[in-house]
């Protein structure tokens, strides 16, 4: 026999806690069975840990799930979602009536297959892609620590709790996350690790035999080992974690996956499949559970609901402390948590635009970004910047954020993320969902591939994380094709809900930054150049980039051809249009900093901008996708393959992204027109 029977006996030692934990197990089993789909193994194995944490330690108020100073809970092993849904129902979250559990994984249900932020109160971050919940939790702790340094522990003093499994720790992002958390000494982070020795392919000794304790200790964590079914040991471990003041904590809980499944103990079969009628009956017998499906005995439900209401007194005391803050601090804290724009923002943007008009800048758009940030980060104290070890290239550091965010100075506004692109992106998502801060972080556009899954989650959650991606084309030159993004723009544009901006000059860069900061419900990615471009805009108060595309130049009264371009190629298109006009052709140049925003404009506006003349698109990247705006890929001046190592001007010439190539295609289209 395996560890199953002894573990079940140990869990049953504390009869009351065992009964409360069995409420979680029963609901998880019932939900998965009703859906004929799901993962009951983790909820059944982690039920004791969840019970101890939620009934004895975690600070929350089920009646006010948006309370800013509540503890955060992250189910990083999000496949075990029925564990979280059961907890939300048992503790009395209004969003989680029993009908939602019965509708698990069905159309229109809040109980999605993996927990999704924004679908239901109590889900603090979307999880499922393993490791990202853990990394997001690091970002939550960073936001908490920063706000505490700014506003004081009287109003910001909460913890972040993470449940994770072997899969989370196998994913490479976990190393980025635990390394950073240990470096920053995020002592309010506690990870409860479901150390059950099982993965989908079988026992973990097939693929995962490292010294997990040594790994975390080497990264600067406190590690506590305990029996994951011993309620007293769990209680003591969590108490120790709360007492630690200089290190994050890993509680390594030895558990049995799918505890109480007598026919499949400690096997991969317990992970992700319904029990079936026969084994379900055996589990009920082992748990001494004789209730109807989705039914919880009144006395147990009452105890769970009391746990959900326990935090009301803490919340009310917090509200009193908040009201006692000086008026200016209270107002500023509330503004940040509500996600409202600061006073003076519009004025600051207008002044920055006027300064560009007064003194036009011929600079790389990465430098234009830094110029914009000098103003915007000053007026938006909630902005926290950073770079994945490329600050001097990304130009993300400005005077307003010049203070380092480090252990001992967590009120700083600049994060040195190290070479951790994926960890940076996922942690910034955690900062975004925490609230009170606007994170932005930089790397090269080509390395967006490393961060892509976190960028996707930004869009899926609908949060305003800002990605600053420089060196946006073959124009970066000599570093060669390993660093020259070609397919990246179209692959990022393919992500629903992500605003991809490729500004043409300093004015557009300022406008795109304004849009990114205002966008609290959608992430933004700024693709910025290494090479300098002329400033094409010299007047106007409207944010034209907000429309996604607009006519930036019109040569002649009639329009014989429309040249559409983005970023550094807009200036090239302007040169071509001017030369065509000298030959007698009327030409309009459309700058298109954002496909996504342009596609949301009214059809009449889009038709007016694009016109009915033949069109040529110009972008020093993949041609893929441009046929939504031009007739064929033959009408796209762009890239068909990877770049090469050479100076930028040589690359543009060799790959045919030139004024003459644009003109030649425009002439061919004009001549072919009936």
Predicted local confidence at residue 152, as pLDDT:
98
**Domains of the chain and CATH, by start:** 4-316 (3.40.50.970), 345-534 (3.40.50.970), 544-672 (3.40.50.920)
Angle among Cα 403, 407, 408 to the nearest 5 degrees reads: 75
Predicted local confidence at residue 239, as pLDDT:
98
Predicted local confidence at residue 674, as pLDDT:
81
Residue in 15, 17, 93, 34 with CA at minimum distance from that of residue 60:
93
Task: List the single range of 8-12, 52-56, 82-86, 399-403 with lowest mean pLDDT.
Answer: 8-12
Indicate the average pLDDT of the chain.
97
pLDDT(361) > 60:
yes
229 is in an annotated binding site: no
393 is in an annotated binding site: yes
Catalytic residue among 171, 176, 421, 508: 421
322 is in an annotated binding site: no
Average pLDDT over residues 12-40: 97
Angle among Cα 374, 594, 508 to the nearest 5 degrees reads: 35
> How far apart (Å, rounded) are the C-alpha atoms in residues 136 and 75?
11
> How far apart (Å, rounded) are the C-alpha atoms in residues 130 and 385?
26
Predicted local confidence at residue 146, as pLDDT:
98
130 is in an annotated binding site: yes
57 is in an annotated binding site: no
pLDDT(550) > 60:
yes
Predicted local confidence at residue 270, as pLDDT:
78
Average pLDDT over residues 292-313: 97
pLDDT(279) > 50:
yes
Q: Do the Cβ atoms of 49 and 86 come closer than 8 Å? A: no
Predicted local confidence at residue 198, as pLDDT:
86
79 is in an annotated binding site: yes
- 619 in active site: no
> How far apart (Å, rounded) are the C-alpha atoms in residues 286 and 421?
47
pLDDT in tens, 320-340: 999 999 999 999 999 999 999
Average pLDDT over residues 181-198: 97
Average pLDDT over residues 540-552: 98
158 is in an annotated binding site: no
Q: Do the Cβ atoms of 531 and 364 come closer than 8 Å? A: yes
39 is in an annotated binding site: yes
User: pTM for the whole thing?
Assistant: 0.97
> How far apart (Å, rounded) are the C-alpha atoms in residues 22 and 260?
10
Average pLDDT over residues 606-626: 98
Angle among Cα 230, 12, 277 to the nearest 5 degrees reads: 115
Average pLDDT over residues 400-409: 97
Per-residue burial over 558-569, b if 16 or more Cβ lie within 10 Å, else e, is ebbbbbbbbbbb
pLDDT(177) > 70:
yes
How many CA atoms within 13 Å lie on the side-chain side of 463? 31
pLDDT in tens, 455-480: 999 999 999 999 999 999 999 999 99
pLDDT(202) > 60:
yes
Predicted local confidence at residue 4, as pLDDT:
75
pLDDT(214) > 80:
yes
> How far apart (Å, rounded) are the C-alpha atoms in residues 418 and 176?
9
pLDDT in tens, 115-168: 999 999 999 999 999 999 999 999 999 999 999 999 999 999 999 999 999 999
Predicted local confidence at residue 264, as pLDDT:
65
3-state secondary structure of 442: strand
453 is in an annotated binding site: no
> How far apart (Å, rounded) are the C-alpha atoms in residues 575 and 658?
10
Predicted local confidence at residue 1, as pLDDT:
36
pLDDT in tens, 488-511: 999 999 999 999 999 999 999 999
Percent of the chain with pLDDT over 70: 99
pLDDT in tens, 626-638: 999 999 999 999 9
366 is in an annotated binding site: yes
pLDDT in tens, 244-276: 999 999 999 999 999 988 776 667 777 888 999
Average pLDDT over residues 389-414: 98
22 is in an annotated binding site: no
Average pLDDT over residues 434-460: 98
8 is in an annotated binding site: no
At 647, list the tokens: 């100076």
> How far apart (Å, rounded) are the C-alpha atoms in residues 132 and 422?
9
Give DSSP secondary structure letters for 306-357: HHHHTTHHHHHHHHHHHHTS-HHHHHHHHHHHHTPPPTTHHHHHHHHHHHHH
119 is in an annotated binding site: no
């Amino acid at each position: 026999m395996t560890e199953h029977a002894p573990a079940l006996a140990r869990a049953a030692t504390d009869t009351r806690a065992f009964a409360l934990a069995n409420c979680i197990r029963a609901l998880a089993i019932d939900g998965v069975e009703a859906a004929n789909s799901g993962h009951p193994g983790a909820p059944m194995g982690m039920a004791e840990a969840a019970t101890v944490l939620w009934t004895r330690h975690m600070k929350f108020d089920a009646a006010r799930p948006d309370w800013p100073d509540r503890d955060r809970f992250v189910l990083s092993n999000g496949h075990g979602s029925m564990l979280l849904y059961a907890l939300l129902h048992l503790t009395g979250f209004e969003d989680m009536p029993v009908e939602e559990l019965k509708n698990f994984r069905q159309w229109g249900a809040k109980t999605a297959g993996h927990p999704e932020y924004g679908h239901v109160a109590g889900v603090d971050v979307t999880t499922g892609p393993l490791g990202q919940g853990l990394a997001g939790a690091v970002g939550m702790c960073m936001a908490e620590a920063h706000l505490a340094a700014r506003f004081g522990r009287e109003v910001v003093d909460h913890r972040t709790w993470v449940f994770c499994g072997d899969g989370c720790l196998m994913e490479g992002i976990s190393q980025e996350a635990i390394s950073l958390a240990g470096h920053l000494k995020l002592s309010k982070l506690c990870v409860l690790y479901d150390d059950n020795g099982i993965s989908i392919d079988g026992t973990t000794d097939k693929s995962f035999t490292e010294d997990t304790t040594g790994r975390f200790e080497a990264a600067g964590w406190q590690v506590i080992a305990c029996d994951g079914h011993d309620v007293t040991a769990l209680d003591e471990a969590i108490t120790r974690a709360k007492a630690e003041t200089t290190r994050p904590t890993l509680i390594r809980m030895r558990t049995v996956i799918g505890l109480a499944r007598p026919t499949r103990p400690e096997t991969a079969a317990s992970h992700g499949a319904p029990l079936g009628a026969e084994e379900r009956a055996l589990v009920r017998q082992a748990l001494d559970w004789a209730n109807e499906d989705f039914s919880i005995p009144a006395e147990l439900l009452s105890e769970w609901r009391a746990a959900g209401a326990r935090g009301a007194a803490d919340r009310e005391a917090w509200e009193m402390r908040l009201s006692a803050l000086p008026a200016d601090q209270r107002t500023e804290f509330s503004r940040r948590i509500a996600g409202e724009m600061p006073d003076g923002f519009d004025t600051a943007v207008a002044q920055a635009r006027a300064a560009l008009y007064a003194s036009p800048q011929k600079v790389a758009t990465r430098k234009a970004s830094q110029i914009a940030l000098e103003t915007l980060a000053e007026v938006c104290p909630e902005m926290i910047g950073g770079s994945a070890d490329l600050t001097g290239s990304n130009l993300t550091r400005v005077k307003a954020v010049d203070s380092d965010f480090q252990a001992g100075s967590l009120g700083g506004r600049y994060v040195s993320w190290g070479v951790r692109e994926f960890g940076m992106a996922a942690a910034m998502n955690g900062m975004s969902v925490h609230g009170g801060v606007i994170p932005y972080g930089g790397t090269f556009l080509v390395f967006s591939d490393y961060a892509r899954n976190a960028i996707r989650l930004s869009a899926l959650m609908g949060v305003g994380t800002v990605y600053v991606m420089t060196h946006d084309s073959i124009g970066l030159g000599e570093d060669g094709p390993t660093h020259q993004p070609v397919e990246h723009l179209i692959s990022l544009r393919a992500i629903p809900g992500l605003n991809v901006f490729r500004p043409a000059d300093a004015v557009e860069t300022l406008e795109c930054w304004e849009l990114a900061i205002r966008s609290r419900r959608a992430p933004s990615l700024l693709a910025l150049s290494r090479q300098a471009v002329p400033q094409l805009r010299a007047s106007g108060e409207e944010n034209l980039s907000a429309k996604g595309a607009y006519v930036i130049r019109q040569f002649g009264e009639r329009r014989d051809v429309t040249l559409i371009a983005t970023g550094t190629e807009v200036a090239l298109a302007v040169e071509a249009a001017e030369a065509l006009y000298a030959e007698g052709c009327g030409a309009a140049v459309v700058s298109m900093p954002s496909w996504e925003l342009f596609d949301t404009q009214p059809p009449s506006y889009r038709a007016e901008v694009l016109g009915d003349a033949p069109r040529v698109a110009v972008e020093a990247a993949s041609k893929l996708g441009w046929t939504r705006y031009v007739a064929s890929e033959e009408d796209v001046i762009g890239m068909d393959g990877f770049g090469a190592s050479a100076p930028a001007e040589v690359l543009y010439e060799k790959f045919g992204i030139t004024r003459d190539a644009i003109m030649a295609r425009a002439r061919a289209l004009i001549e072919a027109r009936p």
